[in-house]
């Protein structure tokens, strides 16, 4: 079974630039999560999708972050404009259905904002 | 909002010693999950606990869910160097929101 795919693995950008991350969840998984993990901290949920609908985006900084999951499969997370404090690993995870099932994480995208 | 805390933040043990990490939620949980993240890696699911007072074992790992469904623990017997990593609990509330704790980083000295 293929895992959760994310790209790119690494990204370095200057502050005020924009960046996009891509995630392809495990086939058949209805729930998709984007997490931000700052070094030394636990993953912080940014947004949760159920199919192509948003379930929870309460911690997404909507003035600069946006995410979409077209057709309920792949998802993209965008930051525009980036700030220094956005430097983190962005993890995508998927589960069969909601938080009653285990979440499978991708390798993550390490973002450095300089 | 829901908060999930873990103690200790760091634990250094000699190989063969036992290790325990504790997880506490500010709200009652529908279930709790535990994940392990190796240095440079991504979180990997270990187990899910659903029932009040539930105890589950995986080889040298023992997981407990408190009677009030607000706390949990992970105990590792006779640690090995392969146990190195950060252990996260993730509390799931009845609104189906996933909240990760800050993690306990385990170092095992050979």
Band of residue A1 on the pLDDT scale cut at 50, 70, 90: low
Between A56, A98, A105, which is nearest B42 by CB? Answer: A105
Residues A61 and B38: their CA atoms lie apart, in Å, by 28
Between A41, A98, A106, which is nearest B96 by CB? Answer: A98
**A32-67 pLDDT, tens digit each:** 999 999 999 999 999 999 998 999 999 999 999 999
* Comparison of pLDDT for B44 and A72, the residue scoring more: B44
Compute the residue count for chain A. 114
Interchain contact, B98 vs A44, CB within 8 Å: no
Tell whether B7 lies on the interface with A, counting CB pairs under 8 A: no
Contacts of A108 in chain B (CB under 8 A): 42
Among A82, A44, A87, which Cα is nearest to A66's? A82
**A9-22 pLDDT, tens digit each:** 999 999 999 999 99
Among B22, B24, B21, B20, which Cα is nearest to B4's? B24
Give the tokens for residue A51: 């199919």
Residue A12's φ and ψ, nearest 5 degrees, are: -120, 125
**A67-114 pLDDT, tens digit each:** 999 888 999 999 999 999 999 999 999 999 877 789 999 999 999 999
């Amino acid at each position: 079974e293929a895992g959760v795919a994310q790209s790119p693995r690494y990204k370095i950008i200057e502050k005020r630039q924009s960046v996009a991350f891509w995630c392809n969840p495990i086939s058949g998984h209805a729930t998709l999560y984007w997490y931000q993990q700052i070094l030394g901290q636990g993953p912080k949920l940014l947004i949760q999708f159920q199919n192509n609908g948003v379930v929870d985006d309460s911690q997404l900084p909507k003035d600069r972050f946006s995410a979409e999951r077209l057709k309920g499969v792949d998802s993209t997370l965008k930051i525009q404009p980036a700030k220094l404090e956005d430097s983190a690993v962005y993890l995508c995870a998927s589960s069969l259905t909601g938080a009653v099932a285990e979440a499978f994480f991708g390798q993550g995208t390490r973002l450095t904002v300089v | 909002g829901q908060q999930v805390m873990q103690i200790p933040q760091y634990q250094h043990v000699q190989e063969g010693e036992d290790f325990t990490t504790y997880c506490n939620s500010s709200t009652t949980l529908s279930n709790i999950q535990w994940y392990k993240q190796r240095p440079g890696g991504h979180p990997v699911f270990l187990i899910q606990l659903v029932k009040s007072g539930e105890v589950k074992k995986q080889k040298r790992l023992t997981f407990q869910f408190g009677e009030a469904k607000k706390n949990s623990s992970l105990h590792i017997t006779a640690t090995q160097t392969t146990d190195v990593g950060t252990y996260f609990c993730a509390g799931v509330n009845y609104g189906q929101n996933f909240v990760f704790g800050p993690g306990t980083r385990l170092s095992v000295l050979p």
